[in-house]
Chains A and B, each alone.
Chain A
Amino acid sequence: MADMIVGEQKANRTETQPGLFHLTLTRRKVMWAYIFLAIPIIFFLYIRIYPTLFAFQMSLYDWNPLAAEQHFVGLENYQTLVEELSSDKSVTRAAFVNTWHYVIIGMPLQLVLSLLIALMLNEIRALQTIFRLTFFLPFVTSTIAVSWVFRWLYQPQIGLLNVMLKAFSLPQQPFLRSPDQALYSILAVIIWQGLGFGVIIFLAGLKQIPRTYYEAAEVDGASRCQTFWNITLPLLNPTIVYLVVLQSISFLRTFAQVLAMSNQGDGGPLNSTTTVVLRVYREAFQRLNMGYASTLTITLFAIILIVTIVQLRLTTRSTE
Chain B
Amino acid sequence: MKANKYFSLFIVLALLATLTIGIQAQDDVVTIEYWQYFFEARQTAMNQLIEQFEAENPDIDVIHNSEIPYDNFRDEIAASAPAGVGPDVVTLFYGWIPAFVDAGYLIPLPEEDFPAEWIESYFSPMVAESKFLDEYWAIPTAVRSLALFYNIDMLEAAGYDAPPATLDEFLEMAQALTIYDGEPDILNIVQEGYVPEMTGQAHHWFREALLRQYGGQPFGEDNRTVEWNSEAGCQAFKYLSDFETDYMTGSNDLFDGGTQAFINGQAALHIDGSFRIGSIASGNPDLNYGVAELPAGADGSQHTFGSYWTHGITRQAEADEAKLEASVRFLKFITSVEAGILWVNEVGELPAQLEAASDPTLLEDPILGPFSAGLEYAHATFFVDETQQRQHLIDAYDQIRLGGMDPCDALNDAAELEQTLLDEFWAAHSE
Contact = CB atoms under 8 A, between A and B. Distances in A.
A205 B350 CA distance: 67
B403 A288 contact: no
A285 B395 contact: no
Interface in B399-422: 399, 402-403, 413, 417
Contacts of A67: 81, 103-105
B75 A285 contact: yes
B99 A269 contact: no
B398 A269 contact: yes
Contacts of B187: 156-157, 172
Of all A-B residue pairs in the complex, the 3 with the closest CB atoms, nearest first, are A66-B103, A65-B78, A67-B103
A287 B253 CA distance: 26
A177 B103 CA distance: 37
A170 to B, nearest CB: 13
Q: From DSSP, what is the main secondary structure of chain B's interface residues? A: helix
B74 A285 contact: yes
A315 interface: no
B225 interface: no
A77 B393 CA distance: 26
Interface string A243-264: 0000000000000000000011
B254 A156 contact: yes
Contact of B398 (A66, A270, A286, A287): A270
A285 B78 contact: yes
B235 interface: no
A178 interface: yes
Contacts of A179: 398, 402-403
A102 B388 CA distance: 25
B399 A89 contact: no
Contact of A288 (B74, B253, B398, B399): B74
A269 B391 CA distance: 11
A202 B99 CA distance: 51
Contacts of B79: 65
Interface string B97-136: 0011011110000000000000000000000000000000
A68 B106 CA distance: 11
B402 A66 contact: no
Given A64-B103, A174-B253, A288-B78, 10 more contacts: A65-B79, A66-B77, A66-B105, A67-B103, A157-B189, A268-B398, A270-B398, A286-B74, A288-B99, A288-B103
Nearest to A91: B391
Interface residues of A, number: 26
A174 B402 CA distance: 10
Interface size of B as a range: 20 to 34
A270 B399 contact: yes
A266 interface: yes
A179 B417 CA distance: 20
A204 B424 CA distance: 56
Contacts of B65: none
Given A177-B402, A266-B394, A21 B77 contact: no
28 contacts: A64-B102, A65-B81, A66-B78, A66-B81, A67-B103, A67-B104, A68-B104, A89-B417, A172-B187, A174-B253, A178-B402, A179-B403, A264-B199, A268-B395, A268-B398, A270-B399, A270-B402, A270-B403, A271-B395, A282-B387, A285-B74, A285-B78, A286-B387, A287-B385, A287-B387, A287-B388, A288-B74, A288-B103
Contacts of B388: 287
Contacts of A268: 394-395, 398
Contacts of A64: 102-103
Contacts of B74: 285-286, 288
B82 A21 contact: no
A64 B252 CA distance: 34
B75 A68 contact: no
B2 interface: yes
Contacts of B77: 66
Contacts of A89: 413, 417
Interface in A171-205: 172, 174, 177-179
Nearest to B417: A89
A89 B418 CA distance: 13
B315 interface: yes
A266 B82 CA distance: 27
A119 to B, nearest CB: 40
Interface string A104-128: 0000000000000000000000000
Interface in B217-266: 252-254
A247 B387 CA distance: 33
Contacts of B252: 263
Nearest to A176: B253
Interface string B281-306: 00000000000000000000000000
A247 to B, nearest CB: 30
Contacts of B78: 65-66, 285, 288
Contacts of B104: 66-68
Interface string A123-151: 00000000000000000000000000000
A104 B103 CA distance: 41
A270 B387 CA distance: 15
A177 B398 CA distance: 10
Contacts of A263: 199, 252
A269 B105 contact: no
Contacts of B103: 64, 66-67, 288
Contacts of A174: 253
Interface string B146-159: 00000000000000
Contacts of B399: 270
A179 B253 CA distance: 13
Contacts of B402: 177-179, 269-270
Interface string B74-92: 1101110110000000000
Contacts of A172: 187
Interface in A54-72: 64-68
Nearest to A266: B391
Interface in A212-270: 263-264, 266, 268-270
Contacts of A178: 402
Interface in B316-359: none
